[in-house]
Amino acid sequence: MFSISTLVDVVRIPPSLFGTTLKKAAVNILKEKYESMINAELGYIIMILDAKVDEMGKMIAGDGGTFHKVEFEALTFYPKLQEIVQGEIVDITDFGAFVRIGPTDALLHLSQVMDDYLKSDVKMGLILANQSGRTLKVGSTLRARITAVSLGKAAAMGKIGITCRQPFLGADEWIEEEIKKAGGSSEPAKEEKVEAS
């Protein structure tokens, strides 16, 4: 789930940035420190949006920089268990596929694709179902449910597991087929004109 989080920190403005505005210097330092970082409570920190810098800074003896309290907003992505996500397959492996969801990739294991015997062809970038003939390939878009999230300190990249083994999950074409089988239609309902008598 994407959200905007408000955080508070103290930034050190080095003497080399004294010529720029305080806000611009603080935002640049915050971007270097936080962007592309994974935090166990916030998830993936994508970008710094805005910052309010306390103009009155502090100095420490022997350090030429100034220290300022900063309150800033960051765009974050925190994958939640059981959340439904839309993604695109970016890589096929022997054991499944990696699906791009938001700013990161999640693992779709072969056992979590569907109830069918599956073969993975890494060279062709393809997963093929034996009985149904359905395929997944690099570039396929799909809908999945998040089943595992690990964003702890030890996980430098974070680990996310997803499944498509539930109704109305999987490749977009499969979902359309399921809707048609269920008696619904993926096309918008046509309006009928009714004449008043």
pLDDT digits (tens, 9 = 90+) for 81-133: 999 999 999 999 999 899 999 888 999 998 898 888 888 888 888 888 888 88
pLDDT more than 90, % of the chain: 39
Cβ atoms 113, 170 nearer than 8 A:
yes
What does the alpha-carbon distance between residue 160 and residue 155 come to, in Å, rounded to a whole number? 11
User: Phi and psi of 22, rounded to 5°?
Assistant: -60, -45
Cβ atoms 97, 136 nearer than 8 A:
yes
Q: Label residue 183 by pLDDT band (50, 70, 90).
A: confident
Verdict on whether the full-model pTM lies above 0.85: no
Cβ atoms 86, 141 nearer than 8 A:
yes
Domains and CATH numbers, the chain: 2-77 (3.30.1490.120), 83-183 (2.40.50.140)
Q: Where are the alpha helices (DSSP H) in the chain?
A: 22-34, 172-181
